[in-house]
Homo-oligomer: A and B are copies of this chain.
């Protein structure tokens, strides 16, 4: 794990229960800027009662896989695994590879290292992607969380090629690829056989409470994951909403633009405040300041939740135009 949390910080973003413990006297509800979740959620369609009262129909699940394949660029529905969130896929994915050496390109989201260790791997945290060439399981978050680092498709394909010599597998977590570079996804390359792409529904569509995530992989790997997840892995409400949202290309496009514009606005405010932006995506920014802990405390006391990391003087704030304004006004 890379970014261990401070005793006085948050282990994961979005944990308002922890925030309430840390800042019991803050005005509530909190303004939560501690996650990379889109603050402009996809408008919830009205849900028929039978999405709750019936087991999810196999036909609806197949339809969802087809739509996900089209939207994410996977070759076919047989390359798609639907899960109740990508989180639950991490240990299952790591267990597809017999226990060996797992390498995670860090610093990044800490759950990858935890999941690989759970699956019995010896986990190394590397800074250079070339160090991943000989591992059994290589994990790259692209764009990266929290710094937004982007690895080109060419480098990832070269890595997948090198890994294949030793039977290694490359997992690319594209949780933030909707706001990443166009054409940056590896989804169209999963036919190579040793590439697994993770896509998160909740972050970009702003509906993480639904719990929905996808793995895209060659049909044999996808079938193994589906076998473990079993016949009704995804809830009726998640299927009903995602069927509509994933096919709504107009909303997706408008939201990319809207988030990019909000990120630009935040960058201007941060520049005015002379805060150095190290990176990010249109869903979050990573900034460097030696006053990270102080700012974390100051904002928290005012009811605004961001994340601070122990090992470096960093502060991670979710994009939200009002944040900038709040920062300026206070």
Contacts and interface: CB of A to CB of B under 8 A. Distances in A.
Given A44-B49, A90-B230, A55 B209 contact: yes
B229 A88 contact: yes
A238 interface: yes
Interface residues of A, number: 56
Interface in A195-228: 202, 206-211, 227-228
A26 interface: no
Contacts of A55: 12-15, 35, 37, 202, 208-209
Contacts of A228: 91, 118
Contacts of A233: 84-85, 87-88, 211
A141 B35 CA distance: 41
A231 interface: yes
Contact of A87 (B12, B58, B111, B230): B230
Given A88-B229, A118-B227, 19 more contacts: A14-B55, A15-B57, A17-B58, A17-B60, A17-B62, A35-B55, A37-B54, A37-B55, A41-B53, A44-B49, A53-B206, A55-B202, A55-B209, A84-B88, A85-B232, A87-B231, A91-B230, A115-B230, A211-B234
Interface of A: 12-18, 20, 32, 35, 37, 41, 44, 49-60, 62, 84-85, 87-88, 90-91, 111, 114-115, 118, 202, 206-211, 227-238, 241
